[in-house]
Amino acid sequence: MIIGQGMIAKAFSGYAEDPKHIIFASGVSNSQEKNRTLFGRESQLLEQTILHHPDQKLVYFSTCSLYDPSLQNSPYVQHKQNMEQQVQRLAQQYLIVRLPQVVGNATSPTIVNFLYQAIIHQQSFTLWQESYRNLIDIDDVVTILNEILANPLFTNQIINVATDKMINVQHIVMILENITKNTALYQSIPKGSYYSIDIAPIRPILTKLSLNFAQDYVQKTIEKYYAQK
């Protein structure tokens, strides 16, 4: 069963008729969101989903933004912490997956989408010089979770499904400038932070799947989805 209609939900379409798992991909995805009504809707839907399907393993997508010092007190991160606690409290079987910035055919305001749209439309934006992000291809998220759920692994645990590459946001801008052949218009300010994401628990899976996140991984991932737009 799949709950949701966005990029992640579509990527996991193979689980639509799966009687063992619920892919809960219907939640607030914008890290800048402050609307508590939207937060409340996700909480209510999550609770109803768990209560109506107690025998299925719930896969809930949380966020690696919990590790970002600049976002830890944000309404979005606090909401995701509350949702994780709700899953742990209500679900008999669950897997909480903390994701970084996922790159794919998204229409939601992901950081890459935001920057791409700003660059192609020559819109000015503010760039935090010290801001770093972790980007992962949605196809790799699916591949990793297929392996985890098939075995199964990490039942009733929280795991990070991310890469070992933290990239400065200015580098993402440079990649998009090369793709679009446009010059980004931005004001650079000395703000932001670097943080790390522990992916040690999934490294055996990455090795088995031959996912090594090479040095050019981020550039190739962005090109994969944006070079042909």
* Residue 181: count of CB within 10 angstroms of its CB: 8
pLDDT digits (tens, 9 = 90+) for 88-141: 999 999 999 999 999 999 877 789 999 999 999 999 999 999 999 999 999 999
Residue 150, Cα to own-chain centre: how many angstroms?
A: 21
Amino acid code (one letter) for 131: S
DSSP state for residue 70 in the 8-state scheme: T
Place of tokens 């794919």: 104
Longest dimension (CA), the chain: 53
Nearest alpha-carbon partner for 112 in 137, 77, 145 = 137
> CB-hemisphere CA count at 13 Å for 105?
7
Q: What is the pLDDT of residue 37?
A: 87
Residue 161, Cα to own-chain centre: how many angstroms?
A: 9
Cα–Cα distance measured from residue 165 to residue 219, given in angstroms and rounded to the nearest whole number: 11
pLDDT digits (tens, 9 = 90+) for 159-197: 999 999 999 999 999 999 999 999 999 999 999 889 999
pLDDT digits (tens, 9 = 90+) for 29-38: 777 777 888 8
Q: What is the pTM of this model?
A: 0.95
Tell me: pLDDT of 16 over 90: yes
**Architecture in CATH of 2-227:** 3-Layer(aba) Sandwich (3.40)
Q: Provide φ and ψ at 135, rounded to 5°.
A: -110, 140
Q: What is the pLDDT of residue 70?
A: 84
Q: What is the pLDDT of residue 142?
A: 98
Tell me: pLDDT of 149 over 90: yes
Kindly tell me the sign of the dihedral angle through the C-alpha atoms of 12, 137, 144, 51. Answer: negative
Q: Provide φ and ψ at 85, rounded to 5°.
A: -65, -35
Amino acid code (one letter) for 168: N
Q: What is the pLDDT of residue 221?
A: 97
* Residue 37: count of CB within 10 angstroms of its CB: 6
Q: Are residues 60 and 83 in contact, defined by beta-carbon separation less than 8 angstroms?
A: yes
* Residue 136: count of CB within 10 angstroms of its CB: 24
Decide: helix, strand or coil at residue 96. Answer: strand
* Residue 156: count of CB within 10 angstroms of its CB: 13
